[in-house]
Amino acid sequence: MNTKISDSISANWTDSAIDCYELGGNCEKCFLYMVIFRYSPSPCKMKYTVKKLLRKVGLPYKNEERAYAKEGEISI
Ligand SMILES: [Zn+2]
């Protein structure tokens, strides 16, 4: 399956992953998405990575007050 995300990608929170997480996986608000994926035939898979990170690594912040988007709130 092409949609499978390798474990190496989702081992750590990247800046892009945190951005995506902060936007609740909403690509329409995502700067990266608007710049790159809007004109790309391949869809943004960052939110899938975010879901994996939430499961494997947990929240990207030590201060959970900043974390307003939880795993269940990311719509795919
Ligand atoms: Zn996205």
The residues spanned by each domain of the chain are 19-73
Confidence bin at 9 (pLDDT 50/70/90)? low
Q: What is the pLDDT of residue 1?
A: 47
pLDDT of 23-69, one tens digit each?
898 888 887 677 776 777 877 888 889 999 999 989 887 544 444 55
| Residues in the 5 Å CB sphere of ion ligand 1 | 27, 30, 33, 44, 46
Alpha carbons 76 and 74: distance in angstroms, whole number: 6
The SS3 of residue 44 is coil
CA of 58 to the centre of ligand 1 (A): 19
